Amino acid sequence: MFSKSTYIARRKALCEKVNSGLLVFMGNDYVGMNYRDNTYRFRQDSSFLYFFGIDQENMCAVIDLDEHKEVVFGDELSVEYIVWMGAQKSIKDKAEEIGVTDTRPRKEADDYIAKAMKAGRKIHVLPPYRDANKIYLSGVLGTTIAGIEEYVSASFVDAVIQIRSIKEEAEIVQMEEALATTKNMHMAAMLHARPGIREYDLTAKVHAEALAGGGDLAYPIILTVHGQTLHNHYHGNLLEEGQMVLGDFGAESSTHYAGDITRTFPVGERFTDRQKEIYKIVLRAEKETIEALRPGVAYVDMHLLSARIILEGLKELGLVKGDVDAALEAGAYGLFFPHGVGHMIGMDVHDMEDLGENRVGYGDDFERSTLFGLRSLRLAKVLEVGNVVTVEPGIYFIPELIAQWKSEAKFEDYIVYDEVEKYTDFSGIRIEDDCLITAEGSRVLGPYIPKEIEEIEEIRARGAKIL
């Protein structure tokens, strides 16, 4: 948790951005995995946590802009609950720690909202993403699930986005903590990989480090020898000499800040020459894009910078031909780099995307492209001091995509299909770091996580000796 004055200041900043009405914050509840009482790990809503800090289920809160009230709604624990789940501080005490003195039973939220509606006051909600909250809001607002949209308030959403997009110094400390654990996760993967084990053997080591950091995972672990599949969550493949492992995973700190790092390394002790050639292009794209980050640049241009470096590198290897500018403009790089170069990160790995991917990443000033590859870019906006973004270029050889584009003769002025086809067994390489935008440029957050070829090979050689 942050200091009381931090929460008070955050809510004050919000009140200054929205004029009138009732701001409703829905907390999350437990969700059953296979029946009600066998639940997924509880995760509080991030905006609720940001403004109200209470990490407990079945709560909601309002900021009443007309009557100048802040109310937290939640039920104090019954003895029956304590028997099963243990005692906790009271909601009253927790609310006191975030500067709210008015706490009421959860049920009273219904009346509070209903009265405000009756009085013709504006009710502002954030877009609900959990079904339980959709059902609750549709009931209390007297509308259908689809009808909640009418109450999703642009001014509330935009104010939350503006405030949460600029990370406070204390939040950066939390992110660095998440990244320290994330480094341990990546070191475990790089040290323990070897031919003959399965992806899940390595995944277990990675997850153990996240738990040992006092938190858990920021998102499901991607750890695969088939790195060409961007979000591959299958962990059953055997690791074989000559393959690479792509590991995209990060810790969520105990305070719910995310790390999101990708490294790609050989299953054996060394990269092959062919792997090194592609790796160097991705590493150059990542480092030069990080180098180019600064306030005032549009993040979409960072995507295009990575894409250009990828095209240039592949042209040197004979996989791409023709005019690089024209290939860039046309989007030919999408064959090799079909995702965006990154996104904002904070409490959510794709920060605030529950509030609307385009509102968070594009706002009013940018329009989302329809071009394959570029259309997957989640963030285009001009960067500001205090933003935290990932930079994560990659090169992938996706056999099905190559076959499809070849059959359509797509971008045949730029792509040398006969050469590209020689790489259909290559898999993919991605390298990802998390960067704070500073007045001077940017700073890669967290401890350094090895990414140079020589550093990775040294760790792999060391790893081979420890078991």
Q: Which residues bind Mn ion (CB under 5 A)?
A: 248, 260, 390, 392, 432
Residue 344 CB contacts under 8 Å (≥ 6 apart), including other chains: 165, 350, 351, 352, 360, 361, 378, 379, 387, 388, 389
Of 200 and 219, which CB lies nearer to ligand GLY in the complex structure? 219
Of 199 and 392, which CB lies nearer to Mn ion in the complex structure? 392
Q: Provide, rounded to whole angstroms, the least separation between the CB of residue 52 and Mn ion.
A: 27
Cα 171–177–179 angle (5° rounding)? 105
C-beta atoms surrounding 36 within 10 Å: 9
Query: Which residues, 26 to 85, sit near ligand GLY by CB under 6 A?
Result: none
Q: Provide, rounded to whole angstroms, the least separation between the CB of residue 282 and ligand GLY.
A: 14
Distance (Å, whole) CA 323 – CA 420 = 18
Does residue 260 touch ligand GLY according to CB under 6 A?
yes
Contact code string over 429-448 relative to ligand GLY, x by CB under 6 A: ---x----------------
Q: Provide, rounded to whole angstroms, the least separation between the CB of residue 423 and Mn ion.
A: 23
Q: Provide, rounded to whole angstroms, the least separation between the CB of residue 425 and ligand GLY.
A: 24
Distance (Å, whole) CA 29 – CA 217 = 19
DSSP category for residue 148: G
What residue spans of 317-424 are helical by DSSP H? Answer: 324-330, 357-361, 399-407, 417-420
Count the alpha carbons within 13 Å of 340 in the hemisphere toward its beta carbon. 20
Distance (Å, whole) CA 28 – CA 25 = 10
Of 357 and 455, which CB lies nearer to ligand GLY in the complex structure? 357
Q: Return left, alpha or beta for 354; rule: phi > 0 is left, psi -120 to 50 is alpha, else beta.
A: alpha
Residue 161 CB contacts under 8 Å (≥ 6 apart), including other chains: 352, 355, 359, 360
Of 248 and 354, which CB lies nearer to Mn ion in the complex structure? 248
Distance (Å, whole) CA 69 – CA 52 = 14
Collapsed DSSP state (helix, strand, coil) of residue 255:
coil
Of 158 and 392, which CB lies nearer to Mn ion in the complex structure? 392
Q: Provide, rounded to whole angstroms, the least separation between the CB of residue 115 and ligand GLY.
A: 42
Query: Which residues, 275 to 304, sit near ligand GLY by CB under 6 A?
Result: none
Contact code string over 339-358 relative to ligand GLY, x by CB under 6 A: ----x-----x---------
Cβ 396 vs Cβ 336: under 8 Å: yes
Kindly tell me the sign of the dihedral angle through the C-alpha atoms of 32, 37, 43, 48.
positive
Kindly tell me the sign of the dihedral angle through the C-alpha atoms of 136, 138, 144, 147.
negative
Of 390 and 442, which CB lies nearer to ligand GLY in the complex structure? 390
Of 209 and 248, which CB lies nearer to ligand GLY in the complex structure? 248
If binding means CB under 6 A, how many residues of this protein chain bind ligand GLY?
Answer: 7
Q: Pick what 186 binds: Mn ion, ligand GLY, none; C-beta below 5 to 8 Å, kind-dependent.
A: none
Of 343 and 410, which CB lies nearer to ligand GLY in the complex structure? 343
Contact code string over 179-218 relative to ligand GLY, x by CB under 6 A: ----------------------------------------
Q: Pick what 219 binds: Mn ion, ligand GLY, none; C-beta below 5 to 8 Å, kind-dependent.
A: ligand GLY
Placement of tokens 């909600």 in the chain: 125
Distance (Å, whole) CA 398 – CA 382 = 32
Q: Provide, rounded to whole angstroms, the least separation between the CB of residue 118 and ligand GLY.
A: 44
Q: Provide, rounded to whole angstroms, the least separation between the CB of residue 262 and Mn ion.
A: 5
Q: Return left, alpha or beta for 296; rule: phi > 0 is left, psi -120 to 50 is alpha, else beta.
A: left
Q: In this chain, which of 30, 200, 219, 366 binds ligand GLY, going by CB under 6 A? A: 219
Kindly tell me the sign of the dihedral angle through the C-alpha atoms of 47, 53, 55, 56.
negative
Of 376 and 438, which CB lies nearer to ligand GLY in the complex structure? 376
Q: Provide, rounded to whole angstroms, the least separation between the CB of residue 340 and ligand GLY.
A: 8
Q: In this chain, which of 171, 252, 392, 457 binds ligand GLY, going by CB under 6 A? A: 392
Of 391 and 420, which CB lies nearer to Mn ion in the complex structure? 391
Using CB under 6 A as the criterion, which residues of the chain lie in contact with ligand GLY when the complex forms?
219, 248, 260, 343, 349, 392, 432
